[in-house]
Structure 1
Amino acid sequence: MPTITKISMQEKRTDRYNVFLDDKYAFSVDEDVLIKHQLKKGMELDEFSISEIAYQDDIRKSYNTAIQFLSRRMRSEKEVRKHLADKDVDEIVIREVIHKLYEYRFLDDQEFAVAFVRTLMNTTDKGSEVIRGELREKGIAENLIDIAMKEYPYENEFAAALKLCEKFVQKNTRDSSRVMKQKLEQLLYRKGYPLEIIQAAIAETEMEKEVDVEIAALRTYAEKAHRKFSSLNGFEYEQKMKQTLYRKGFSMELIEDVIAELKET
């Protein structure tokens, strides 16, 4: 039966030790594994003992890898599992590591989900549906998602959507009221706001423009369209102009007035 003839500390990693059997290097182990198995010079090791030591050392190394991964920020269980799997850690070892992480409270999917929602609520303009989707991608169970989403109540989400609407309106003064409303609906939907919030926020947002402002915006588009279609005959010219400007969201009454102005120039 092989006998331990030497145990030496590694030069670069003082928490790991090299073990020699019958004067030949056999394997290295973490300090915790060395202590747990009470490895010392003169101890005999059979094949089962060596396999068990190697297994425990794999767990310890993978555990340390997971702790380092978690030290950067909170992670979900799924993220930790993927990180270890990407480093070719066996599934049986991953299960043991995950168990230890929960035991020492380095992992807690509910706490992670709550913190995740709070962070996105305070630092982004994402709606609840997008946040729910991101939590699902991170492997959070649906019941834990429901608990975490209580951190993002209706009034907070409505305020975020309203702020997004007001900011959008200020930056898009050239659009007609109808087109602006359509674009806002699309924007809020992409951001993940539920229909109830979208409708309420848009209803609260002041988008109706004064007639002179609306006409000024229409003239900008009309002049560009006029340059494009000026070579067409009367009827075809008017049809193309009306179709183009109506798609921009302006009323037909204003469109006809502006086209009449262009004809006079």
Structure 2
Amino acid sequence: MCSGEVSNVAGAITALKLQRRKKNRVNVFIDDQYQFAVQRIIAAGLKVGQELSEADIERLKDEDEEQRAYERALRYLSRRPHSEKEIANKLSRNRIEIDVQDQVLKRLREASLVDDVEFARVWVENRQIFRPRSGLMLRSELRGKGVSKEAIETALEGFDEADAVLTVARKARKRYGDLAEEASNRRLRQFLARRGFSFELISSTLSILMDEESGSDEKSEVEE
């Protein structure tokens, strides 16, 4: 929370003025002297003539620090979903103290704005749609974002790795269609390995593809 010394000034609020450049900030004047500024949502609870003690001033500064951190976290979430750890890391980089981070994350959880299980589920779903990869790689990515093992395993329930690698392989195969079969298979193996799939699964998938291609060729010959 606020680490500065408590102001010696205490008295009645004589003015509440919006800042010119930061319309969400309100300057608080006590006995006609500027004392501190708070976010507009906090200033809404203040009024001219209200008496403030030194403890009140310190409490308002602490509330303001938390509110600014909370609004910063909301901006992060407006861009894309985040895990709790990602939000905490970003707040840390902005020198937000740990106890403030804890309060911000508590508020976000209570508002259902952060949920690591849901974050992991959406991550897996989006990966499988746009950049499919192995369960091993998905687990590694989510661990890197601070998601717990339990949340990761919940998100991966029903994940079919054999189906995932086959989907990836079918799409990737088209990239190497102009290459000789041996070169095409080698490039495809390398591509699938980079996505984290095991040697055994890659080999079985290539066998399926070759069977499909062989069946397609036979059908074409019959039709001709």
TM-score range, shorter chain: 0.7 to 0.9
2:29 equivalent in structure 1: 20
Provide closer, same or farther for how the CA distance between residues 171 and 87 of structure 1 changes in structure 2, counting only shifts above 3 A: farther
1:75 equivalent in structure 2: 82
Aligned partner of 2:134: which letter?
Answer: G
Query: Which consecutive segments of 4 or more residues in structure 1 shift more than 4 A?
Result: 179-183
Whole-angstrom CA distance in 2 between matches of 1:25 and 1:81:
33
Render the CA deviation track for 1:162-204: whole Å, top value 9, x for unaligned: 315633552432x7x3x65555433322211134421211222
Work out which structure has the larger RCO, using CA pairs closer than 8 Å and 6 or more positions apart in sequence: 2
SS in 2 for 1:201: helix
| 1:4-19 equivalences in 2 (<5 Å) | 4-19=13-28
2:222 equivalent in structure 1: none
Percent identity of the aligned residues? 28
Aligned partner of 1:116: which letter?
Answer: W
Gap runs ≥5 in structure 2: 1-8, 212-224
| 1:154-233 equivalences in 2 (<5 Å) | 154-163=161-170, 166-167=173-174, 169-173=176-180, 177=182, 181-206=185-210
Q: TM-score, normalised by structure 2?
A: 0.79
Whole-angstrom CA distance in 2 between matches of 1:162 and 1:15:
52
2:54 equivalent in structure 1: 47
Whole-angstrom CA distance in 2 between matches of 1:154 and 1:126:
8
Gap runs ≥5 in structure 1: 208-265
Flag the structure with larger Rg.
Answer: 1
| 1:48-197 equivalences in 2 (<5 Å) | 48-150=55-157, 152-163=159-170, 166-167=173-174, 169-173=176-180, 177=182, 181-197=185-201
Provide closer, same or farther for how the CA distance between residues 73 and 61 of structure 1 changes in structure 2, counting only shifts above 3 A: same
Higher helix share: 1
Count matched residues: 202
2:10 equivalent in structure 1: 2
Whole-angstrom CA distance in 1 between matches of 2:32 and 2:126:
56
Q: In 1, are the aligned partners of 2:173 and 2:188 still within 8 Å (CA)? A: no
- What is the Cα-based RMSD across aligned positions, in Å? 2.3
Aligned partner of 2:108: which letter?
Answer: L
